[in-house]
Amino acid sequence: MSDINTILLCLSTVLNQTNLRHLQLISYALLAMNGRVTMLGISRWTEKRGSYRTIQRFFGYTFSWCRLNWYLIRHQLLDKDDVLLIAGDTTTVMKSGKHTHGLGRYFSSIYNQAVPGLSFFTLSLISVKQRRVFPVITDPVEKEPDQEMPKKTVSPPGNQKSGRPKGSRNKTQRTPELSTYLLWIQALVRNLLQLTGAQLNLGYLVYDNALGNNEGATMVKPLGLQLISKLRCDAALWFPYEGVYQGRGAPRKYGEKVDYANMPDQYLTDSQVTDSVLTNIYQIPVWHKRFA
């Protein structure tokens, strides 16, 4: 118990003495209990000062949990020689009922299908030197309300004009319009950068293949971060052109298309064999015609 009190002592600047004492009791109960975590279950594992009504009052307050998390972990990340990454991912918790806020059907990778429950998005800091992950921001994912598609008005065949509509302009595919979900993720990452301030040198965002596209790269660029993600297995990638400039026109940008079945050995960085499966790792600078 004394170790927990020592660790949580750094929160005395953001919590009053009563809430800090209750948080110490709840932390001790969470580490000791097993099974499903509920407020009633927490009260049964606390001492005399942790009644069920006390636990309810504590969770009735509004706390800046991301700030509490940051105050707990910041002293472990202030190493100038360490490389820190921002990682984001969603997780789904199954939950029955009809009245829980945010309840819906979300995809679960465990069941490989959409299941009824709650979905949460978490931003964490990864310490490459310590090989540890520190969650900072956790926010519930809320599905966008279904919007009715506008009905298309079909004009009579005789009134249709051939050719391009008057006044239409060319649209570039390199600056896509971000969806509401991507704008929401961008706002959370910006909040994390503002929370850490200049104390940490954060330059990379790690995410799964959901951001491995032009929209994801466009979302990350205004934040001053580099995106580490995963492209589709059939992504059309091109080597940079290394030929001689012909002397007229714009310099050629794209060279040969990347053939995944015949990768050049000069880009091979590592080979691993696991369970009779050979994995080759290549590091190649390439272009994609739809990326900004």
Q: CA dist 77 to 70, 84, 109, 132, Å?
A: 10, 8, 31, 10
168 CB contacts (<8 Å, ≥6 apart)? none
CB 187 within 8 A of CB 121: no
DSSP alpha helices (H): ranges in 93-197? 180-196
Whether 161 is covered by a domain: the verdict is no
Q: Residue 260 belongs to what domain range?
A: 231-292
CB 243 within 8 A of CB 220: no
Q: Do both 217 and 92 map to the same domain?
A: yes
165 CB contacts (<8 Å, ≥6 apart)? none
Question: Number of helices and strands (H, E) in the chain?
Answer: 7, 10
Domain count, the chain: 3
Q: Do both 212 and 263 map to the same domain?
A: no
CA atoms of 11 and 33, how far apart (whole Å): 23
Q: What percent of the chain has pLDDT over 70?
A: 91
Q: What is the pLDDT of residue 243?
A: 87
Q: What phi-psi label fits residue 249: left (phi over 0), alpha (psi between -120 and 50 degrees) or beta?
A: left
Q: What is the pLDDT of residue 258?
A: 92
Q: What is the mean pLDDT of residues 6-31?
A: 88
Domain boundary among 35, 63, 91: 63
Q: Do both 85 and 225 map to the same domain?
A: yes
Q: Do both 89 and 222 map to the same domain?
A: yes
β-partners of residue 257 are: 238
Phi, psi at residue 83, to the nearest 5°?
-105, 125
Q: What phi-psi label fits residue 158: left (phi over 0), alpha (psi between -120 and 50 degrees) or beta?
A: alpha
Whether 114 is covered by a domain: the verdict is yes
Q: Do both 5 and 123 map to the same domain?
A: no
**Which long-range CB contacts under 8 A does 57-60 form with residues at least 24 apart?**
58/19, 58/22, 58/23, 58/26
β-partners of residue 138 are: 122
Q: What percent of the chain has pLDDT over 90?
A: 34
Out of 15-24, 60-69, 145-154, 253-262, pick the least confident.
Answer: 145-154
Q: What is the pLDDT of residue 239?
A: 93
Q: Do both 239 and 219 map to the same domain?
A: no
Higher pLDDT, 178 or 47: 178
Q: Do both 113 and 217 map to the same domain?
A: yes
Q: Do both 102 and 198 map to the same domain?
A: yes
Q: Do both 56 and 109 map to the same domain?
A: no
Whether 72 is covered by a domain: the verdict is no
CB 206 within 8 A of CB 78: no
Q: Is the pLDDT reported for residue 138 higher than 80?
A: yes
Q: Do both 100 and 222 map to the same domain?
A: yes
Domain boundary among 16, 34, 63: 63
Nearest by Cα to 229 from 125, 86, 117:
86
Residue with tokens 């006390």: 54
Q: At what angle do helices 17-32 and 52-60 cross, to 10 degrees?
A: 120
Q: Do both 247 and 290 map to the same domain?
A: yes
Q: What is the pLDDT of residue 149?
A: 61
Q: Is the pLDDT reported for residue 2 higher than 80?
A: no
Residue with tokens 């990347």: 258
Nearest by Cα to 119 from 135, 132, 137, 107:
107
Q: How confident is the model at residue 285 (pLDDT cuts 50, 70, 90)?
A: very high
Q: Do both 43 and 124 map to the same domain?
A: no
Phi, psi at residue 270, to the nearest 5°?
-160, 150
CA atoms of 19 and 40, how far apart (whole Å): 18
Nearest by Cα to 235 from 217, 214, 262:
214
